[in-house]
Amino acid sequence: MMTKINQTSLVLIRGDITREQVDAIANAANERLMGGGGVDGAIHRAGGPAIAAECSAIRAKQGGCPTGQAVITTGGNLPAKHVIHTVGPIWRGGTAGEAELLASCYRESLRLAVEHGIKTIAFPSISTGVYGYPVAQAAVIALNAIRQFLKAHDGLDEVRFVLFDDATYGAYENALLDMGV
């Protein structure tokens, strides 16, 4: 599924983000940037030790990455040149600022991408695995945050969601259809 927001294509596909040929892929990281399971584990495995080495340097300099923020490293052995690590909120029932923090992940990742001259970026569904964010709600927040950003900023050719399973893909498809873009 695909739509256009100003100059930027917004694309939803099913797949494994570690295989995407884009300038940057986003990673659903944790605050310590220590790697982990889910998409984070897959990215570190496929990208090799250069990614963890840069995460470690960021940790030494600034302690990690707070929830809702983003940092950038090399893509190591990945087809993508860069990884933008962003830390989604852990779902605590919806009243702990989760929605704003999740929107911030997408905004900050895109801001960093534009700052680094990145033209194509792929996102996984941040927070909807281990962190437990209900995917139907997360999809609406993600797509709205991206739409708002793209309405205000030029420079990106494509923003791609690479969704790992049918249920997640379906949730993003429904959210995009409901937005009427």
Q: Which residues are catalytic?
A: 40
- Which of residues 47 and 88 has its CB atom nearest to ligand AR6 in the complex? 88
CA 121 centroid distance within chain: 9
Could you tell me how many residues of this chain bind ligand AR6 (CB under 6 A)? 25
Site string for ligand AR6, 141-180 (x = CB under 6 A): ---------------------x-xx--x------------
Is 106 near ligand AR6 (CB under 6 A)?
no
* Gyration radius (Cα) of the chain, Å: 15
CA 5 centroid distance within chain: 18
Is 100 near ligand AR6 (CB under 6 A)?
no
d(CA 36, CA 16): 17
Could you tell me which residues come within 8 angstroms of residue 10 by beta carbon, excluding any fewer than 6 positions away? 2, 3, 4, 143, 146, 147, 150, 158, 159, 160, 176, 181
Question: Considering only residues 64, 68, 76, 124, which one is a binding residue for ligand AR6 as defined by CB under 6 A?
Answer: 124
Q: Which residues of 150-174 are buried (b: 16+ CB within 10 A; e: fewer)?
A: beebeebebbbbbbbeeebbebbee
Is 38 in a helix, a strand, or coil?
helix
Site stretch for ligand AR6 (CB under 6 A), options 16-24, 66-74, 139-147, 151-159: 16-24
In angstroms, what is the minimal distance from the CB of 114 to ligand AR6?
Answer: 23
Is 125 near ligand AR6 (CB under 6 A)?
yes
Q: Which residues bind ligand AR6 (CB under 6 A)?
A: 16-18, 28-30, 36-40, 42, 88, 124-131, 162, 164-165, 168
